[in-house]
Structure 1
Amino acid sequence: MDIATAAGVVIAIVLILASIVLGGGNLMAFLDPASVMVVVGGAIAATLISFPLQNFLSVFGVSMKVLMWKVEKPAALIEQLVALAETARKEGLLALEGRLGEIENDFVKLGVQMAVDGTRPEVMEDILRTEIDAVATRHRDGKALLDCMGRFAPAFGMIGTLMGLIIMLGDMSDPSKIGAGMAVALLTTLYGAVASNVVFLPFAEKLGYTNKQELLAMDIVVRGVMAIQAGENPRVIEQKLNTFIPPKLRAKQAEEAAP
C-alpha cells in the first residue's frame, strides 16, 4: 500500500473531525444521509453521463491503483539492464533467452524477447513505444474520471444546499427551526468540498504522478533494450541510462556500490 496516500486521507479526515470537536461542535450534527446521497450519488450520476459505462466501472480499479501503486525504481531497472547487457556482451544476445525466467518486469521481458528473436530495431522500438502510448492512454482516462468526479462533487453540494434552503424557506412557521435547517442545508456544500479535495482530486493528482513515474521507467527500458540489441558497451549503457537519475541520487548510488 502507498503509505503517503493512505496517511494523507486519514490525516485530512482526522484534522477536520478534530477541528469540529475543538470548535465546540457536535459530530452527530455533521451526519446527514440525504446530503451524502445528493453529493456522492450526483457525482456518480454526472460521471456516468460523461463517460461510457465500461470506462466508469474502471474507476474502482483506478482508485485501488492509487492506493496500491508500485513502480520499479529507475536505479534497480538500470542495474538489471546493465546486467543483461554484460551477459549479451560476454555470451551473445541469444544467451539472454536463458535469463528470461529471472525477469519479473513484463515490459523488460517483452523487449528482451524481441531482441533475442532478432526483431528489427525499428520494429522493436515501434512496438515498445506503442505499448507506452497505450499505458499513457489508460492512465489519462483514469485520471479524467477522478477529475470529473472532483469537479461535480462540489457542484452537487451546492445543488443540495439550494434544495435544503428551498425546503426550509417553504415552511417558516416555526422560526426556531430556521437555524437547524440552514445547518443541514449547508452540509451538502461541506460534503462536496471534502469529497472533492480529500479524495477525488488528490487521487487524480497521485494517478498523474504515478503515470509519469511508470512512463519514465518504460522509457528507460526502451533505451536500455535498444542499446543491448545494438551491442553497446555495458558501461556506456549504464552512463546513458543514469542520466534519468538526479545527480544527487547518482552520487549516493555510486557510494553504495563502492567497496
Structure 2
Amino acid sequence: MDILTLVGLIAGILIVILAMLANATLLTFFNLPGLAIVVGGTFAVTLIKFRLSSVMSAFRLAFSATFTDRVERPTDLVREVSELARLVRKEGILGLESHETDNPFLRKAVNLCVDGHAPELVEEALAQEIQQTTERYEVSERVFRGIGDSAPAIGMLGTLVGLVQMLNTLDDPSSIGPAMAIALLTTLYGAFIAQLIALPLADKLQLKAEDEQRNQLLIATSIRNIMRGENPRVMAELLSSFVNPEHRKGLVAEREA
C-alpha cells in the first residue's frame, strides 16, 4: 500500500478541518445548497467532458493505483529478467514455462514466448499493451485534472449566485446571512475539492503512469533480447539505463559476483 498518498490526503483534510474548528464548528462551514452547486455542477461538467465509462474507470484506477504501491522497482525487474535470460541459455525458450511471476505484463510476455510466437508478433503485442496501459492512465489523469479545473469555476459560479441573492434581498436582513454563506462557502468547496483531492490524485496518476511505462519498456526490451539470444551479462548492462544511477552499483556488484 502506498501509505504516503493516504497519509498526505488525510493530513491535508485534517489540517483544513482543524483550522475550521479553531473558532467555529463544522456546521458553520456546512451549507447544503452551496455544496450541491459545487458537487453537482462539477459532476455535471465532468460528464459533459468525458464518457461515464471513462469517469468510472478513472475513479477505479485512481483508488487501485494511487493508494497501492504495486509498481515494482526496476532493480528487482532487472534481476528477474536476468535470471530468465540465464534460464533460456541453459534450457531453451521452453524453460520459461516453469517460471512464475507476480508481474502481469511479464507473465503475458513469458506466455507469448512459450507459445512459440514469432518475435515480431511478441514485440507487437507487448507494444500494444504498453500503449493501452498508457492511454488508460492518461484518460484517468485528464478526468481528475478536469475535476480540478471545474470545481473552482463552479465555486465561483455559486459565489455569484449567492451575491445575486443577497443583493435582491437587502431589504430583508434575515436573508443576507444564508445568501452570503452560499457566496463564500461555494468558493471554499471548489478550492477544497480541486487542491486537496482532484489535482493531487492527477499528479500521482501521472507519476504512476511513468513508473508503469518504464517497467513495461524494461520488460519488453528484456524479452526482445532474450528471444535474440543475447548474453545475460550484456543484457543486464543494457537494462541498467532503466535504473537510477545510485542503484546501479548494487547491480554491478551482483554481476561481478
After TM superposition, the score normalised by the length of structure 1 is 0.91
Matched, 1:21 2:21: yes
Matched, 1:138 2:104: no
Shift of 1:179: 5.5
Hey, what's the Cα distance between the residues in 2 that align with 1:10 and 1:203?
13
Shift of 1:40: 1.0
Whether the 8 Å contact between 2:162 and 2:181 is mirrored in structure 1 is no
Whether the 8 Å contact between 1:39 and 1:153 is mirrored in structure 2 is yes
Hey, what's the Cα distance between the residues in 2 that align with 1:258 and 1:144?
45
Shift of 1:176: 6.9
Structure 1, 70-79 or 212-221: larger mean CA deviation: 70-79
Structure 2's unaligned 5+ residue stretches are none
Matched, 1:199 2:197: yes
Q: Select 1:126's aligned residue among 112, 124, 127.
A: 124
Query: What secondary structure does 1:67 align onto?
Result: coil
Shift of 1:50: 1.3
Q: In the alignment, what sits opposite 1:45? A: 44
Q: Matched residues, percent identical?
A: 37
Query: What secondary structure does 1:241 align onto?
Result: helix
**Cα 1:30–1:68, aligned 2, differ >3 Å: closer, same or farther?**
same
| Alignment size in residue pairs | 256
Shift of 1:161: 1.0
Shift of 1:8: 1.2
Q: In the alignment, what sits opposite 1:165? A: 163
Q: How does 1:226-241 map to 2 (within 5 A)?
A: 226-241=224-239
Q: How does 1:1-259 map to 2 (within 5 A)?
A: 1-22=1-22, 24-65=23-64, 66-99=66-99, 102-175=100-173, 178=176, 181-252=179-250
Hey, what's the Cα distance between the residues in 1 that align with 2:63 and 2:179?
37
Shift of 1:68: 2.8
Q: Deviations over 1:51-95 (max 9, x none)?
A: 122222223312312223511111111111011111111122222
After TM superposition, the score normalised by the length of structure 2 is 0.91
Hey, what's the Cα distance between the residues in 2 that align with 1:247 and 1:141?
31
Shift of 1:41: 0.9
Structure 1, 75-84 or 1-10: larger mean CA deviation: 1-10
Shift of 1:121: 2.1
Hey, what's the Cα distance between the residues in 2 that align with 1:166 and 1:50?
28
Hey, what's the Cα distance between the residues in 2 that align with 1:52 and 1:21?
39
Q: Provide the aligned C-alpha RMSD in A.
A: 2.1
Query: What secondary structure does 1:70 align onto?
Result: coil
Hey, what's the Cα distance between the residues in 2 that align with 1:257 and 1:38?
61
Hey, what's the Cα distance between the residues in 2 that align with 1:130 and 1:21?
52
Shift of 1:216: 0.4
**Cα 1:181–1:140, aligned 2, differ >3 Å: closer, same or farther?**
same
Shift of 1:12: 1.1
Structure 1, 168-177 or 151-160: larger mean CA deviation: 168-177
Shift of 1:125: 1.1
Whether the 8 Å contact between 2:96 and 2:114 is mirrored in structure 1 is yes
**Cα 1:49–1:69, aligned 2, differ >3 Å: closer, same or farther?**
farther
Hey, what's the Cα distance between the residues in 1 that align with 2:253 and 2:37?
57
Query: What secondary structure does 2:71 align onto?
Result: coil
* AA at the equivalent of 1:83: E
